[in-house]
Structure 1
């Protein structure tokens, strides 16, 4: 989404809506894969049915590009960086983290806060995300990605956690990511953006979720195209013959991808999809 599909204002490009309709008619499952919560993704794309603004200020198609009703029909969603897989409103897979590891990670985060790190954590469930930190600056960042959000006094004892997302107001790669990574205990600790670190089960990745979706749909890597810009997109490339790194992507993705698409600021996903739909 960010850095891949969304434009410089963080909005879905208007050119996507007619492409979604074309893909729907051709039986192609367009699948946003994001660290965002499922409810957030569904509302962003579901707004296409009415053209109304979503909770984060993005909007669906204008009157010249009305995608009609049921705008998410046929789509799948890889949410929470692979910890949750949905299609047509049905949960296909979710990976719940061991509660003891959640508790240990919360304790480590409290230690980092005591050391002066300006961080906050989001505990994601399949239907709602929960936070304890509630200042405006933190919530403003969290609400970009989590539309179903609860502020609670205590994060302990929550048993349905599928992802822990840590927001660092500084550079998450310098202290927070290394400290969490050294205590991973076989879990996945991924730098998903400059300020975000995602903690999940080791197999709860975008690539694993994509493989699960391919199995459910009977789709092969030869029938799959993937676009990505950051490290949490990398393992999806293992499951697609058409792997595209955005021109603005992390160097590791540019090195791994078979192809390069124009940057998100140039509408690279729209341009490339349009070409693929004409020529395949």
Structure 2
């Protein structure tokens, strides 16, 4: 689980100041921004998990101004592309919590796990399940996401995030390039599953990426790495980057952007780490901020 940089707690007045500060007072010159990176769940998406009205129009306007927009999520690449299907060919996609990045449909970067090692993680997760932990594993490959648990409860969770999904009798027989393994714990993933996998998978990285999800990824792979690789590919800097996030797996991403925004509904550690606070995702916080900054 990722921890936030040590900072002094923010007072309510400080949060109000950070929320209300005009772009010019925050030192943000919109003419210099070339990349906007946006987490999805709890950040851009509304309370129903849908894109706010005018999202696609806003992306198109920003692209016309030379600004790349990059949805960044633990979701599968195909799922993100489907969500933004109207602009999928003119979009940066940061998928699988940073393990896979494309721009205009072409790969920018990818980081994969050893296949044999990944199979060992699957077998270990099975043992956790045998000890009474209610969980399911998704092997996230480049060609598809793969599952062997197929009950309605698990499928209901998985199908929300994986548009390209293949069922198999045995995950250890899958032959794909593995970007990450995602484990859904129907209980509290910080109680058993997260700590257990962190110990078993060391030195690889284990991140609690949501209220019930734990991601196993290559060491040093996260949204922040993806943003820095993208910045190098585009020839831009952190000073030309805005980022919005709400949860612990967004911390490194926010650290890679000079203009970082925590949502008002964000985890306290994210609020402390970000330079600014945007309205909550349920209040259209990302689009409201972009409209103000870019005078849309």
Q: Is TM more than 0.5 here? A: yes
> Does residue 1:210 correspond to 2:210, yes or no?
no
Distance in 1 between residues matched to 2:295 and 2:237, nearest whole Å: 20
What's the CA shift for 1:276?
A: 1.4
Which residue of 25, 33, 36 corresponds with 2:64? Answer: 25
1:119-158 maps to which residues of 2 (within 5 A)? Answer: 119-157=135-173, 158=175
What secondary structure does 1:170 align onto?
A: coil
1:61-80 maps to which residues of 2 (within 5 A)? Answer: 71-80=87-96
Counterpart for residue 67 of structure 1: none
Distance in 2 between residues matched to 1:120 and 1:6, nearest whole Å: 25
CA contact (8 A) 2:142 2:176 kept: no
Structure 2 gap ranges (5+) = 1-39
Counterpart for residue 211 of structure 2: 194
What's the CA shift for 1:75?
A: 1.4
Distance in 2 between residues matched to 1:17 and 1:90, nearest whole Å: 20
Counterpart for residue 252 of structure 1: 269
Which residue of 283, 288, 292 corresponds with 1:271? Answer: 288
Distance in 1 between residues matched to 2:255 and 2:183, nearest whole Å: 27
Structure 1 gap ranges (5+) = 49-70
1:19-98 maps to which residues of 2 (within 5 A)? Answer: 19-46=58-85, 48=86, 71-98=87-114
RMSD over aligned CA atoms reads: 1.2
Counterpart for residue 55 of structure 1: none
Q: TM-score, normalised by structure 1?
A: 0.89
Counterpart for residue 117 of structure 2: 101
CA contact (8 A) 1:124 1:162 kept: yes
Matched residues, number: 256
CA contact (8 A) 1:229 1:250 kept: yes
Greater RCO between the two (CA within 8 Å, min separation 6)?
2
Distance in 1 between residues matched to 2:128 and 2:62, nearest whole Å: 46
Counterpart for residue 64 of structure 1: none
Distance in 2 between residues matched to 1:214 and 1:177, nearest whole Å: 31
What secondary structure does 1:275 align onto?
A: helix
Counterpart for residue 232 of structure 1: 249
CA contact (8 A) 1:163 1:199 kept: yes
Counterpart for residue 45 of structure 2: 6
Counterpart for residue 241 of structure 1: 258
What secondary structure does 1:93 align onto?
A: strand
Distance in 1 between residues matched to 2:70 and 2:265, nearest whole Å: 21
